[in-house]
Structure 1
Amino acid sequence: MSKFFSSRFIIIIVTLAIIIGISLWVLPNAVPLIIAFITALILDPLVRLATRRLNIKRSLAVLLTFILFLCFLGASSYFIVTKVVTEVVKIGENAPVYINEISDAFSKLEANFSDASEDLPQEFVDEINNQVTVLLSDAKNVLTEYDTVKKLTGIIANIPNYLVSLVVYLIALFLFMIAIPNIKKEFYTFLTPETADKVTFMTSRLSYVISGFFKAQFLVSIIIFIVSFIGLLIIAPEVAFIMSLIIWIIDFIPIIGSIAILAPWSIFHLLTGDIALGTKLAILAAILLIIRRTVEPKVMGHHIGLSPLSTLIAMYLGLKLLGFLGFFIGPVILIAFNSAREAGIIKLNFKI
């Protein structure tokens, strides 16, 4: 046990604790810079590939890669925004129809309840009426207290901050892409040759598995989007794209996922009497949930080198301990630990 709790191990643990403590304080205030650095690391292989294949200087390769990234970002944003605006306008045009459907649904529910309550005790009927009245009153109060104009004003007022963050992100991304070799060089000056070799192995392993992690997330999200889009083309083609896009975005939220959209949608149609549409939406929600829970651990394990069981445990514990971000941080911590152990930085060669 004395070998396990060596001075080197204690130094590593203390250093990691200090780094984590500083990170928890800095992270909320440096999100654009952190995202820019991570993006630069992701794009660095493309920069090196362009340098080798085109036989050009790194600065020119960085410029070309940065321009391509901007084009991709701009094209994606334009496509998504135009589609979203178009679909929102369609939904707005059909809003009166939806309102009439809701009114008809309440009328049907009221009529059905009146028919069903004829043989019930009057006290029970009165209690149900009171509870429904309280429920509707609470809903009205919630809607009244929710100041939509104030919320929209707050979002509009923060647009300059969002633009500043975007500009800082793009500038920092370009500078990080140029400075990555120097950052690595400066970092290795603080290490002994033996430690440098171990860290090199660990970072190469980490870069491989982290890229595999994001690749796995992307593949799973693409599967979710395709299945939801095809399903909604059959079920509700008029809102297929916008709803599948919303489902794709919401599905990144662990545990909740696509259920947060499809379940209320399905319940609404079941209550309004459209049993067929409500059932189809419920089936689609179940299919998406099964795909997410079965495919994700396998795809993640394949791309990041962890077994499906280890991946599932890491994601679950990360989610419970750290919340939403822990769903992604959990596997990364496990990957970092395994990489450090493989590199010999952390040794667990003890027996009880």
Structure 2
Amino acid sequence: MKNLSKKHIKLFFVILLLLLVAIFILPVSIPLILAFITALILNPIVRWFIKKFKLNRKLAVTIVFLLFILIISTIGTYAVTKIIGQVINFAENVPTYIIQLKDQVLEWEKDLDHFSEDLPAELIEEVKTQIQSTTTSLSNNVREMLQIEDIAKVASKIPDYLVSFIVYLIALFLFMLEIPRLKAIAYSHLKESTADKVKFMNDRLSYVILGFFKAQFLVSIVIFIVTLIGLYIIVPEYALIMSLIIWIIDFIPIIGSIAILGPWSLYMLITGDLFIGGQLAILAIILLAIRRTVEPKVMGKHIGLSPLATLIAMYIGLKLLGILGFIVGPLLVIAFNSAKEAGIIKTNFKV
């Protein structure tokens, strides 16, 4: 009874410690967590360099790290430059867009007067009031979003983001160097039978994680190509930058490409450009159909995780951990499945 009580006390303190870590430490450790996850993802590439070119680990890590920096800096510089340019262009044209919207509302009011001659005057006046109120509210919201104070607040956070990014890069390099030692420390605290199970789980987890990102990348390439072709036909002047933005957003399954194409299509329809608005709506439906048909096959082939399980994991991860949850959620599900396959977790019970 005394031993049982001690076990309960130890379990209570372990759970309490984990809760404290999750509440206070985890939110401020996002750069370190991302660095550790990235190091695990890049580790197979490091091992490949070591095996293929007979390099020591430090040199292999340095090469992979520099290649990683080169890739993300090239993509990041191009994307940020284009996005900033488009945002500035949009901000400059906001007054024009608002005027176009108001002109369209006036046309709607004229059409309403023409088609509603036999309707009560009070009803017509109420409809006009609601339309004008909605238009004014929309205009005010857009102006508030683009106020100098709000832009200054975003700009003031750039140093914090820069510090976090530098910490992420330094931690990534150190984690890449220290992964073998960290594994050895972890295995030293395990029994031989448990260590074998954990090694099996680790190998399986590495394979599945690589498969997960490979599957997401393959699906995203299909989405990007179809989006680029579609936008070159519809709006060639914005095709490349909008395809890149949609490609990035489409990695988020709960939101997807519809988050960009939906409002864009709606705006074009409201402003009277039914042809382009309709084409954008059709493109959004095509992209949604492609993801819903291609993703299950690719995901199932590479990781054996159903799209439903992935969606649930990402949504719960988002609610608990924010944007980081989109990555951590599915990884936890994959880790659980790997632990179950290794025999560490048993679920063959009956109620």
TM-score range, shorter chain: 0.7 to 0.9
Specify the alignment match of 2:37 in structure 1: 38
Partner of 1:128: 127
1:96 Cα deviation after fit? 6.9
- 1:159 matched residue in structure 2: 158
SS in 2 for 1:348: coil
Question: What does residue 263 of structure 2 align with?
Answer: 264
Q: Contact 2:102 / 2:135 at 8 angstroms: preserved in 1?
A: no
Query: In 2, Cα distance between the equivalents of 1:45 and 1:183?
Result: 16
Q: 1:227 to 1:12 in 2, by over 3 A?
A: farther
Which deviates further from its counterpart, 173-182 or 139-148?
Answer: 139-148
Report the equivalent of 1:4. Answer: none
Hey, what does 1:233 align to over in structure 2?
Answer: 232
Contact 1:314–1:330, Cα closer than 8 Å, also in 2: no
Residue 66 of structure 2 corresponds to residue 71 of structure 1: no
Match of 2:3 in 1: none
Deviations along 1:193-250, one digit per CA (max 9) or x if unpaired, are 1100000000111111011111111222222221111100000101111222222222
Unmatched 5+ stretches in structure 2: 1-6
CA drift at 1:87: 4.4
Q: Give the alignment's TM-score, normalised by structure 2.
A: 0.86
Please list the CA deviations of residues 92-121 of structure 1 after superposition, one character each: whole Å capped at 9, or x if unmatched: 676676455434423322221221222211
2:312 aligns to what?
A: 317
CA distance 1:35–1:96, change in 2 (3 Å): same
Amino acid at match of 1:163: L
Q: Is the Cα contact below 8 Å between 1:315 and 1:328 reproduced in 2?
A: no
Q: What letter matches 1:109 in structure 2?
A: W
> Within the alignment, does 1:197 sit opposite 2:192 as a pair?
no
Following TM superposition, by how much is the alpha carbon of 1:170 offset from its aligned partner in structure 2, in angstroms?
1.1
Distance 1:158 1:219 in 2: 34
Match of residue 297 from structure 2? 298
The share of aligned pairs that are identical, in percent, is: 51
Matched residue, 1:113: 112
Aligned equivalents of 2:327, 2:35: Cα separation in 1? 18
Q: Is the 8 A contact 2:35 2:172 kept in 1?
A: yes
SS across alignment from 1:118: coil
Deviation at 1:172, TM superposition (A): 0.8
Match for residue 251 of structure 1?
250
Q: CA deviation at 1:152?
A: 1.2
What is the alpha-carbon distance in structure 1 between the residues aligned to residue 126 and residue 314 of structure 2?
41
Supply the distance in 2 between the matched residues of 1:28 and 1:274 (Cα, whole angstroms): 45
Q: Which whole-Å CA distance do the structure 2 matches of 1:97 and 1:147 have between them?
A: 14
Q: Write the mapping of 1:212-223 to structure 2, written as runs, cut at 5 A.
A: 212-223=211-222
Distance in 1 separating the partners of 2:332 and 2:231: 37
Aligned residues of 1:39 and 1:173 also touching (Cα < 8 A): yes
Query: Do the aligned partners of 2:31 and 2:167 also contact (CA within 8 Å) in 1?
Result: yes
Mean Cα displacement is larger for which, 258-267 or 324-333?
A: 324-333
Instruction: Show the counterpart of 1:3.
Output: none
Unpaired runs of at least 5, structure 1: 1-7
Q: 2 CA distance for matches of 1:154 and 1:129? A: 37
Per-residue CA deviation, residues 6-43 of structure 1 (Å, 9 max, x unaligned), is xx9xx999978964763354221111111111111111
Report the Cα distance in structure 2 between the residues aligned to 1:20 and 1:128, rounded to whole angstroms: 54
**Comparing 101-110 with 18-27, which one deviates more in the overlay?**
18-27
* 8 Å contact from structure 1 (residues 318, 328) kept in 2: no
d(CA) in 1 for partners of 2:271, 2:225: 28
The answer as to 2:339 corresponding to 1:340 is yes
The amino acid of 1:118's aligned partner reads E
Residue 27 of structure 1 pairs with residue 26 of structure 2: yes
How many angstroms apart in 1 are the aligned matches of 2:345 and 2:12? 10
Amino acid in the other structure paired with 1:80:
A
For the 8 Å contact 2:197–2:342, the answer to whether it is kept is yes
Residues of 1 paired with 2:84 and 2:153: CA distance? 20
Q: Aligned pair count?
A: 339
Which runs of structure 2 are paired with 1:136-147 in the superposition (5 Å)? Answer: 136-143=135-142, 146=145
